[in-house]
Amino acid sequence: MDPLARARELFERARGELDAATDAASLERWRVAFLARSGEIAKAMELIRELPPELRRDYGRLMNEGRKDLEKRFKRKKAAFSDSSARRGPLFDPTLPGRPERRVGHIHPLTSTLDRIVSIFSRLGFGVAEFREIETEYYNFDALNIPSDHPSHDSFDTFYVRDDIVLRSHTSPGQIRTMLSRKPPIRVLIPGRCYRPDAVDATHHYTFHQCEGLLVDESVTFSDLKGCLAIFAREMFGPETDTRFRPSFFPFTEPSAEMDISCPFCSGSGCSICKRTGWIEILGCGMVHPAVFEAVGYDTERFTGFAFGMGIERIAMLRHGIPDIRYFQENNLRFLEQF
């Protein structure tokens, strides 16, 4: 083929491919293929040496003009690309479907249950205080009138860190810390994590949570306790909820009681969850024992008070119908995403 015709063909092909380039990357590939130092145009330029002298002038002119033309087109296109992609055009394609980037988190059911407890009691004037999980034996037991020969001191029932240092086995030491740091009137909730060396099963765990309550004032009576906790039960489990108080024993309260609620699953008619009794125990409570007031230097003639303690897991299990306490600790999303 005539070298001039071949050169024209080359330029035509180069223009076609340049027109077909759709982005900065293909434009650059085009530049390397045609305009770069070892590209097709440079190679075609070298052919001039092999041509008969009478052709060289025309060939040289054609090549020079053609290359200049390509360079001009290339520059124009390059500018258009950077215009549209960097300055004017959209940075992303808004018509593409969205990518599911981050999963939405949930409040843990124990946290939401505690939040509910706190919100109910806050309307009765209770604030919240939190204390340490590593306690002295004195605060965990002795100041609460739990004598040193009481079985709960036993290392089978309490984790010992050192001789006289324990992982708190209940939130009741918070009663002592609260009363030592302020004067009555007191209305406080003390929530937190507790520890006991219990074998793990559907209702026991070595790590669990309690919420303690303490109210101290002048002339507080057992009916204040009953009224307050009955309001809590109805707010927590529904307005139909009945409560009953059974005599019990705790060293730090006198008299002591356990509060039952009418079974929220069968409304008291008897089912497998309430073991056909119609009642479910939800907390321990009582009037603060004078020995506890003495331990914190309160005037036992002037002040009376009541206290209560409940397991947050237990309340959450009843509230949501959760059958096994272990679910709270497993971080299984199929469980957690339900709340």
Contact set with ligand DAH (CB under 6 A) = 170, 172, 212, 250, 253, 284-286, 307-309
Closest to ligand DAH by CB, 145 or 262: 145
- Residue 216 CB, nearest approach to ligand DAH (Å): 12
Nearer to ligand DAH, 10 or 292 (CB): 292
Cβ at position 170, least distance to ligand DAH in Å: 3
Torsional sign, CA 191, 195, 200, 204: negative
| Length reported for the chain | 339
Q: Which residue is nearest to ligand DAH (CB)?
A: 309
Peptide bond just before 185 cis, omega within 30 deg: yes
Letter for the amino acid at 147? P
> Cβ 214 to ligand DAH, closest distance in Å?
7
The C-alpha atoms of residue 144 and residue 176 are separated, in whole angstroms, by 7
Contact 210, 171 (CB under 8 A): yes
Q: Decide whether 7 or 257 has the Cβ nearer to ligand DAH.
A: 257
Q: Give the whole-angstrom CA distance, residue 260 versus residue 117.
A: 17
For residue 309, the minimal CB distance to ligand DAH (Å) is: 2
Q: How far is the CB of 152 from ligand DAH (least distance, A)?
A: 9
Distance CA 253, CA 55 (A): 117
**Pick 195 or 327: Cβ nearer ligand DAH:** 195
Contact at 8 Å (CB) between 150 and 157? no
Greatest CA separation for the chain? 129
Residue number, 26 or 207, with CB nearest to ligand DAH: 207
